[in-house]
Chain A
Amino acid sequence: MADVTMPRLSDTMEEGKILRWLKREGDRVEAGELLVEVETDKADMEVESSASGVVQQLKLAEGETAPVGAVIAVVDAGDGKGRKAAAAAPRQAAEPTAAAQPTAATPVAAKPPAVPPAVPPATPAERPARAAVSAPLTPSPHPTSLAPAAVPGPRPASSRGDAVKASPLARTLADELGVDLGAVLGTGPAGRITRRDVEQARARLSAAGAAAADAGAPRREDGPSTHGSVASGGVRRVPLSKMRASIAKRMTDSKREAPHFYLTTVVDMDDAVRLRAQLKALEVEPSVTYNHMVLKACADALARFPEVNARFAGDAIELLDEINIGIATAVDDGLLVPVLSGANRLDLIAIAAQARVLAEKAETGRFTSADLSGATFSVSNLGMFDVDSFSAVLNPPQAAILAVGSVKQRPIVRDGALAVGHTMSLTMSYDHRVVDGARGGRFLADIKRRLENPAALLLPGGAPA
């Protein structure tokens, strides 16, 4: 059993990402044969195996990252010859072997052909299981020790040696025993590492080394699970797509930068329901949805309240001439916000037509850059998911976003009597740096008034103030 570690491809390399495995579990690999492609910084390198044998385990899934020296694969020589390598793994981790550095070995072509696999390659059906199993083994910050990963519970101390909290005694002992403090879990106050923690880490290290050495023999089905972290919850890591990363960043920035506040109102939609039915009966094309009505009401209200169609710009509030409404649209793995540009210049039918075009583009993914830029306000509608009401996160630098709930029959009080009517909840999120509560309330009430008197939606330029 021999460990293949993340090679050091540069003096300044600290970690590398597995781009692609060139061997599968069960494949035969020769030392010096290409095993994996690793990305570090903006460079991808083919990396050769430092050991010969059958690939027993690929410790990282493609797309995962590990520090230099971390074990990324386990190769089983099968005949026991590889035994010593495993015990030497921690040292090997600290200074990767020359063979692990891809540039050190002779080109692949010069190698003799690989011996046929001793173990059949994993079938496709087996692979997902591998991915699920190997994923949680993702980099403990200091993989030189197998121990910390095996112990769930207390969080590992900071990975930086100088930042690790440890008692002086623990430090001295760690030096003596060759234990990396960065890889030890502190159980003392505030995660401080005690002498006892160091001793236990050392004991686990030895045990792990011995177990690995013993397992040099025939097969080791329990290999992965003995490393413990697999059991700590069956975590599957899904690397962020660019869109998810964008959403994560934007939403975090929004919540950090913009002081949100939220105003909610309930709209009596009975007249809007009737209007929609009438338009339908007249076979007006394209058909108008409640969301189109909301968009139209917002466009007209924004024209009346320019201070909401605005953004915070550090030392000023910028009022925007154009009224461009972003329509939050769910797509695979994320969210796009195509933009209804010049919305206040469009009548209800034109809004319906344009919104439909944008929705089709969202489905086929054929947005132009203009379709996705320049929104001054946004509408997010989760009514189709039977959401009664919710609060949206602002889409910076916009000052407001409207969250729209479902239209359905609910109890409603009319003229002092309980009745059943169609209602819809609207929740506006505002950036408090731009809009205050009273003004925000008036803007929301204006939208509500337009929807409750939907003839306003049919007038050119909306209803008068």
Chain B
Amino acid sequence: MSVAPGAGADALPGAPLEAEGLRARWLGRIGYSPASALQEDLRRAHARTGDVLLLLEHEPVYTTGRGGHAEHLAALPSDGAAPVPVERIGRGGDVTYHGPGQLVGYALVDLRARGRDVHRFLRQLETGVITTLSALGVRGVRWTGRTGVWVADPDADVGRMDERDMQLGRIRKIASIGIGVRGGITMHGFALNVAMDLAPFTAIVPCGLVGVRMTTVARETPGPVPSLREVAALAAQEVAAALASPAPPERNPVGAVA
């Protein structure tokens, strides 16, 4: 799955989605490895292809960063007959899960042309996810120090919430965000839980300890949830718009629990 030299817009795989300022493609369901290879190809070909946003869902997979420890993998469950495969990926971070019903967005964007500020880029991705959620009737929020998008109880003051609120489920994570930057080009992006089984998430936290409570769009709205492809079309526009506008200069200190 490589991009031919001199390839133009039509050489990108997948179905085009409308988006301002970058080229968005819907890839449907795709394995983790082929998607990684595609990201790497598009990163290398960025000078020709320009900024790209890939939207897709993965086959079930656990991923662990390079620093991931073998003992965490050992603690992974093997529910059912077919154990979920584990991929080691070329970025830092903890074990996580991707699977059907989760909208994954990979942004291959030239950070040098967009202010070179990695945190700002993270905040912009958050904005794109939050406005996407808003269109779906879910109020997503930032939780300072914890990159990603969260949903809190209606009466909650997110600014004063702590891990205890998280354990009690008063604030729940609906989208994970994380990027890598290689040669000035971003990779990875966001994973928004739209309508999916959350059990595989609980399984990767040893002993069910600690824990980020995960949630989905389907859980947070009473009404029907659009198809993943429809959500992808929405997200393409919203994320593109967020990347085109300056992000809030909000601080998101490192070192906090994800």
Q: Once the chains bind, are A44 and B71 in contact (CB under 8 Å)?
A: no
Given A42-B178, A44-B180, A367-B77, residue A332 in contact with residue B71 (CB < 8 A): yes
Given A243-B75, A336-B206, residue A62 in contact with residue B67 (CB < 8 A): yes
A425 to chain B, nearest CB (A): 26
Q: Once the chains bind, are A247 and B209 in contact (CB under 8 Å)?
A: yes
A424 to chain B, nearest CB (A): 26
A252 to chain B, nearest CB (A): 11
A369 partner, pick from B180, B184, B203, beta carbons under 8 A: B203
Residues from chain A with a CB closer than 8 A to the CB of B119 are 9-13, 40-41, 43
Q: Once the chains bind, are B181 and A102 in contact (CB under 8 Å)?
A: yes
Q: Within the assembled complex, what's the spacing in Å between the Cα atoms of A245 and B256?
A: 12
Q: Once the chains bind, are B181 and A43 in contact (CB under 8 Å)?
A: yes
Tell me if B158 is interfacial: C-beta within 8 Å of chain A.
no
A361 to chain B, nearest CB (A): 9
A44 partner, pick from B179, B251, B252, beta carbons under 8 A: B179
B: number of interface residues (CB 8 Å): 54
Tell me if B29 is interfacial: C-beta within 8 Å of chain A.
no
Pick the interface stretch among A14-22, A112-120, A351-359.
Answer: A14-22
Residues from chain A with a CB closer than 8 A to the CB of B203 are 368-369
Q: Once the chains bind, are B118 and A41 in contact (CB under 8 Å)?
A: yes
Return the chain B residue nearest A328 by Cβ: B207
A10 partner, pick from B76, B120, B206, B258, beta carbons under 8 A: B120
Q: Once the chains bind, are B206 and A44 in contact (CB under 8 Å)?
A: no
Given A331-B71, A334-B206, A336-B206, residue A44 in contact with residue B254 (CB < 8 A): no
Residues from chain B with a CB closer than 8 A to the CB of A411 are none
Given A42-B179, A372-B207, residue A366 in contact with residue B78 (CB < 8 A): yes
B182 partner, pick from A15, A42, A46, A366, beta carbons under 8 A: A46
Tell me if A304 is interfacial: C-beta within 8 Å of chain B.
no
Q: Within the assembled complex, what's the spacing in Å between the Cα atoms of A20 and B66?
A: 9
B166 to chain A, nearest CB (A): 11
Pick the interface stretch among B13-21, B89-97, B234-242.
Answer: B89-97
Q: Once the chains bind, are B207 and A246 in contact (CB under 8 Å)?
A: yes
Tell me the A297-325 residues at the B interface (CB within 8 Å): none
Q: Mark A37-81, 1 if CB is under 8 A from B, else 0.
A: 101111111100000000000000011010000000000000000
Residues from chain A with a CB closer than 8 A to the CB of B178 are 42-43
Please classify the interface of chain A as helix (H, G, I), strand (E, B), loop, or mixed, using the class held by over half of its residues: mixed
Q: Once the chains bind, are B71 and A369 in contact (CB under 8 Å)?
A: no
Q: Once the chains bind, are A46 and B183 in contact (CB under 8 Å)?
A: yes
Residues from chain A with a CB closer than 8 A to the CB of B74 are 331-332, 364-365
Q: Once the chains bind, are B254 and A14 in contact (CB under 8 Å)?
A: yes
Q: Once the chains bind, are B184 and A102 in contact (CB under 8 Å)?
A: yes
Residues from chain A with a CB closer than 8 A to the CB of B207 are 246, 335-337, 372-373
Q: Within the assembled complex, what's the spacing in Å between the Cα atoms of A17 and B205?
A: 23
Q: Once the chains bind, are B184 and A103 in contact (CB under 8 Å)?
A: yes
B254 partner, pick from A40, A108, A373, beta carbons under 8 A: A40
Q: Once the chains bind, are B254 and A101 in contact (CB under 8 Å)?
A: no
Tell me if B10 is interfacial: C-beta within 8 Å of chain A.
no
Tell me the B133-165 residues at the A interface (CB within 8 Å): 147-148, 163
Q: Once the chains bind, are B206 and A41 in contact (CB under 8 Å)?
A: no
Tell me if B34 is interfacial: C-beta within 8 Å of chain A.
no
Q: Once the chains bind, are A372 and B206 in contact (CB under 8 Å)?
A: yes
Q: Once the chains bind, are A242 and B258 in contact (CB under 8 Å)?
A: no
Q: Mark B178-194, 1 if CB is under 8 A from A, else 0.
A: 11111110000000000
Q: Once the chains bind, are A19 and B75 in contact (CB under 8 Å)?
A: no
Pick the interface stretch among B109-117, B216-224, B225-233.
Answer: B109-117
Q: Once the chains bind, are A12 and B251 in contact (CB under 8 Å)?
A: yes
Tell me if B69 is interfacial: C-beta within 8 Å of chain A.
yes
Q: Once the chains bind, are B179 and A368 in contact (CB under 8 Å)?
A: no
Tell me if B36 is interfacial: C-beta within 8 Å of chain A.
no
B118 partner, pick from A10, A107, A368, A371, beta carbons under 8 A: A10
**Interface bin, chain A:** 35 or more
A16 partner, pick from B206, B250, B254, beta carbons under 8 A: B254
Residues from chain A with a CB closer than 8 A to the CB of B244 are none
Residues from chain B with a CB closer than 8 A to the CB of A239 are 67
A280 to chain B, nearest CB (A): 32
- Please indicate which of the listed interface residues A9, A39, A373 has the most CB atoms of chain B within 10 Å of its own CB: A39
Tell me if A333 is interfacial: C-beta within 8 Å of chain B.
yes
Tell me if A414 is interfacial: C-beta within 8 Å of chain B.
no
Q: Once the chains bind, are A241 and B76 in contact (CB under 8 Å)?
A: no
Tell me if B103 is interfacial: C-beta within 8 Å of chain A.
no
Return the chain A residue nearest B111 by Cβ: A103
Residues from chain A with a CB closer than 8 A to the CB of B71 are 241, 243, 331-334, 365
Q: Once the chains bind, are A44 and B181 in contact (CB under 8 Å)?
A: yes
Given A243-B71, A332-B71, residue A103 in contact with residue B112 (CB < 8 A): yes
Tell me the A257-273 residues at the B interface (CB within 8 Å): none
Given A241-B69, A334-B71, residue A17 in contact with residue B92 (CB < 8 A): yes
Residues from chain A with a CB closer than 8 A to the CB of B117 are 9-12
Tell me if B177 is interfacial: C-beta within 8 Å of chain A.
yes
Q: Within the assembled complex, what's the spacing in Å between the Cα atoms of A40 and B209?
A: 25
Given A12-B252, A15-B255, residue A103 in contact with residue B206 (CB < 8 A): no
Residues from chain B with a CB closer than 8 A to the CB of A333 are 69, 71
Tell me if B208 is interfacial: C-beta within 8 Å of chain A.
yes
Residues from chain B with a CB closer than 8 A to the CB of A345 are none
Q: Once the chains bind, are B206 and A12 in contact (CB under 8 Å)?
A: no
Residues from chain B with a CB closer than 8 A to the CB of A331 are 71, 74-75
Q: Within the assembled complex, what's the spacing in Å between the Cα atoms of A108 and B44?
A: 12
B26 to chain A, nearest CB (A): 24
Residues from chain A with a CB closer than 8 A to the CB of B210 are 245-246, 249-250
Report which B residues bind A (CB closer than 8 A). 66-67, 69, 71-79, 91-95, 111-112, 116-122, 147-148, 163, 177-184, 199, 202-203, 205-210, 249-255, 258
6 closest A-B pairs by beta carbon, nearest first, are: A365-B74, A10-B119, A246-B209, A369-B203, A42-B178, A42-B147
Question: Given known contacts A65-B255, A372-B208, what 19 new A-B pairs fall within 8 Å (CB)?
Answer: A12-B251, A39-B93, A40-B119, A42-B177, A43-B178, A44-B91, A44-B180, A63-B67, A65-B254, A239-B67, A242-B94, A243-B209, A246-B207, A337-B207, A364-B74, A365-B76, A367-B77, A368-B79, A370-B79
